[in-house]
Amino acid sequence: MSPDLLPPVAPSVTADLVEALSPRLRGRLDAGIAKLAARPLVRDGDTVRIAVDDDTDLELHAPGGVVTSADAIRCGCLLAPGCLHRAAAASAAPVAQDAPTAATPAPAGQESEPAREGGPGRGRSPRPGSSAGTTAPDASFAPDAPAVSEAPAADLPSPAQLAAAHAVFDAASDVLDAGTDGSGAVLQAALLRAAHTARLAGLPRAAAAAVSVVTGVRAARCADPAYRLPELADALRDVLAVAHRLPSASGPALAELRGTVRQPYTPDGSLRLYGVFSEPVLTATGHAGAVTWTADAAGRLYTVSDVAPGGPGRATGAADRTVRIGDTALTHRELARAGLAVSGATVSPAGRLGAGARVRAVRASGADWSAEPLDRLWRVPVAEQVAGALAGGRDLLFLTVTLAGPVREATGDCLLADCEGRALRLVAAHDHPALPCRDNLRLLAAARGSRLRIVARLTPGPLPRALLLAAEHPSRSDARVDLGLDRLRHADLPTGTAVPAPAVAPVADEAPLHLLRRRVHQTVSGGRRVLAFPGGGTGDGPRLRRAGLGTAGDLLDELGAAAADRSRDAFGRLLPADTGRFARAWLASALYTGEVERALCAAAWGTGREVTTPAF
C-alpha cells in the first residue's frame, strides 16, 4: 500500500484517533503504520478498503475525496472503534486541509478565491518547485477551502489566537527536539492538533506551516525520494518563527502573521498573454499539478495553475489537462508555447489568473523567447533580477548562459554555466524520479559550449546557484523545453556530443557559514541529542569568530548549551528538557543563517546590496 493511494485525512481526524488510543497502543502506533503499509488496498469510488488480515477489512470513506470525520474510518476488528488500525490508517494518509467554519467576504468590487500564497515570509509568486519536505515548504497551493476569521476587538491577537500560537510553538518544539528520527505518529498528531486549533482561531498561516512540517517529517521517515533536509529545516523555521512572533505582533505585522485563506481577485479588464513555460508542482503539503507562466506585452507575469491533492502522477499528468479559464481548449503544455486572449480577467496580487464565471478566454498566437514581447524578460540586467527576488519579488530569473559541462559537488551533480562572467551552478528543480528534471540536466551537460536562454529559480547561497526550469532546445533555435515536463533524448543534442563525466567543482573561498548551517540541519534530522554529545561542535565557534562571524559563533555556542542543558532532581533523575529554550536557540540560528545566505547571495551576483549580518 502506498500512502499516495490513500485519501487525504483532515488533521483533526488524525489527532482525535491518536489521542483516543491507550498509552500502550500509542507506543505501538509506528509499528502498526509500517505493518498496514504492507497490506493490499482496493479503491471503490469514494471508499478505500485495506485488508488488515484475511478476515478483517479497514475502510476509509472519503466523500469529495477527503476524510473529514473519525466515523469515516471504520475497522472490522474486535477492538474497534478503539483499535490501532484506524489511527494507523489516518497517520499513514496524506494530510488534508481542515474545513474552516466561517467565510470571510471579499471587499466590494473584488472576487474572493482561496489563497494561493501565504507561505511564511512570502510576498512573492508561488513556488511550484517545492516537493515533499522541500522548497521551503510553500502554502502557495493550499486546496480550495472557505476562510476562517476571528476578529478581535483591537488589532491585537485574541486570547484564542495566543493560545493557538503557543500550542503550535510547543508542538513544533517537540518535533524539533526529537528530530525526524524520533518524531513518530504521536508527535505528528500533536502538531496536527495544534494546526487544527490554529485554523479555528483564525491563524491559517501557522496552520498551513504546521501541516507542511508534518508532511515533511513523514517524507523523511518513509525515505521519500523527493525529501530534502534543508527544505524541511526551512519549514520548521517558518512555523516556529510565526508562532514565536505572533503573540507580540500588532497592526500590519499581525495581519501578515495571521495569513489568509482567501485572497482578493481584482478585475483587470482584457489581457493579451503569451506563454513562457510550464512547470510541475509537487509540494510539501501533498499537492501536485502544473503551473503555466505567461506574460503580457509589458512583460508582467501571470500564472495559470491546476493544483490539487495528489502525488507525482498528478504532477506529470496535469500538463495535458485543459486550462481552466473561460472556454479555451488549450492544455498547460500547449499554452506554454501559444497565447491567450482574456476578457473580464481577474488577477490576484501575485499575478494568478482567476477562473470566475464572467471570465472569457480564447486561444491566440504565442511568441518566441527571442521575439517581442517575451524578449524583454531577458533584457533586464541579471543583478537587477536577483535584487528584486531577494527583496521579496518574483524569484524567477531569465538568463542567457553558455553551458560549461557537469560538475560534482558534495550535494550532488550540477550543470556549470557562464552567465555574464559568473560561474553559475544550475541544479534540478525536482529530485523525484517520476519527473525528468535530473535526466534532462544530465543530457544538457553534453551540450557544452551551447549558448541558451533559460528560465531558472534563484537559490540563495554564497555562490550563484539556481533551479533550472526551462531552456531553449539545444539543437533547434525555434523550440524550447520545459525541463520538468518534457523529456530530452540523445537525438535532441547537437551532433557528435556525448554526456561527459562530472568534474570535481573547485573549493570556493567562502565564509564558513556551513559550520552553523550544518548544526541547524543536523538538529532537524537527529534532534537535540546530536548536539548534546560531549565535544559536539568543539572548535566551530572560535573558527566562526576568526572568520568575522562573531554572531554565528555565539549562536552556535548557545545552541550547544541549550541542547546540553538537562537538570536532575534530588534523586538524580533527569528532569524534562526545556524544549522552549532549545527551539528558540535553534530558531535564532536558522533565521541568522538564512539572512546571511541572502546577503552573501547578493554579493555573489553583484547586486550592490550591502552584506551585513543581522542583529538578534
Report DSSP letters for 147-210, one per residue. Answer: ------SSSS--HHHHHHHHHHHHHHHHHHHHHHHH--HHHHHHHHHHHHHHHHTT-HHHHHHH
Looking at the structure, do residues 484 and 531 belong to the same domain, yes or no? no
Q: Are 85 and 36 in contact (CB under 8 A)?
A: yes
Per residue in 496-526, pLDDT (tens digit) is: 666 666 665 555 555 688 889 999 999 999 9
Which residue in 111, 525, 558 sits closest to 346, CA to CA?
Answer: 111
Same domain, 448 and 494: yes
Q: Domain ends where: 479, 504, 529?
A: 504
Residue 385 sits in a domain of what CATH number? 2.40.50
Tens digits of per-residue pLDDT, 297-342? 999 999 998 888 777 888 888 889 988 887 788 899 999 999 999 9
Is residue 613 one of the residues assigned to a domain?
no
148 and 208, same domain (yes or no)? yes
555: pLDDT strictly greater than 70:
yes
Domain-embedded: residue 374: no
Q: Are 183 and 525 in contact (CB under 8 A)?
A: no
Closest CA to 601 of 362, 342, 397, 303: 397
Q: Tens digit of pLDDT for each residue in 176-213?
A: 999 999 999 999 999 999 999 999 999 999 999 999 99
A 10 A CB-CB count for 69 gives 12
Beta strands in 420-551 (DSSP E): 422-428, 451-458, 465-472, 480-482, 503-504
pLDDT for 402: 94
Q: Are residues 124 and 214 in the same domain?
A: yes
Residues 496, 411 share a domain: yes
Specify the pLDDT at position 24.
93
Whether 360 shows a pLDDT value over 50: the answer reads yes
Q: In whole angstroms, what is the distance from residue 510 CA to residue 462 CA?
A: 7
> What phi, psi does 157 have (nearest 5°)?
-60, 140
Q: Is residue 611 part of a domain?
A: no
Give yes or no: residues 395 and 479 share one domain: yes
Averaged pLDDT of the chain: 84
How far, in Å, CA of 58 to CA of 33, rounded?
13
Q: How far apart are CA 529 and CA 508, in angstroms?
A: 31
Structural domains counted in the chain = 5
Residue 416 lies in a domain: yes
Give residue 127's pLDDT band: very low, low, confident or very high (50, 70, 90): very low
386 in the same domain as 499 = yes
Q: Select from 354, 352, 233, 348 the least CA-distant residue to 284.
A: 233
Tell me: do 175 and 201 sit in the same domain: yes
Residue 535 located in a structural domain: yes
* 405 & 535 share domain: no
Whole-model pTM? 0.82
pLDDT in tens, 219-276: 999 888 778 898 899 999 999 999 999 999 999 999 999 988 766 778 778 999 999 9
What is the mean predicted confidence (pLDDT) over 537-541? Answer: 71
The confidence band for 535, taking pLDDT boundaries of 50, 70 and 90, is: low
Tens of pLDDT, residue by residue over 64-117, are 889 999 999 999 999 899 899 999 999 999 898 755 433 333 333 344 444 433
Residue 614 covered by a domain? no
**Residue 522 and residue 500 share a domain:** no
- Tell me whether residue 369 is in a domain: no
Q: How many residues would you count in the chain?
A: 616
Nearest 10 degrees: Cα torsion 215, 217, 220, 226: 30
Element (H, E) at 396: strand 396-409
Residues 115 and 253 occupy one common structural domain? yes
Of 239, 259, 279, which residue is a domain's last? 259
Domain limit, last residue, from 309, 335, 364: 364
- 100 inside domain: no
Position 154 scores a pLDDT of 52
> Which of 160-169, 326-335, 430-439, 559-568 reaches the highest mean pLDDT?
160-169
Domain that holds residue 591: 514-605
Q: Are residues 235 and 287 in the same domain?
A: no
Q: Give pLDDT, residue 616.
A: 42
DSSP per-residue string spanning 228-243 = -HHHHHHHHHHHHHHH
Strands 396-409 and 503-504: parallel
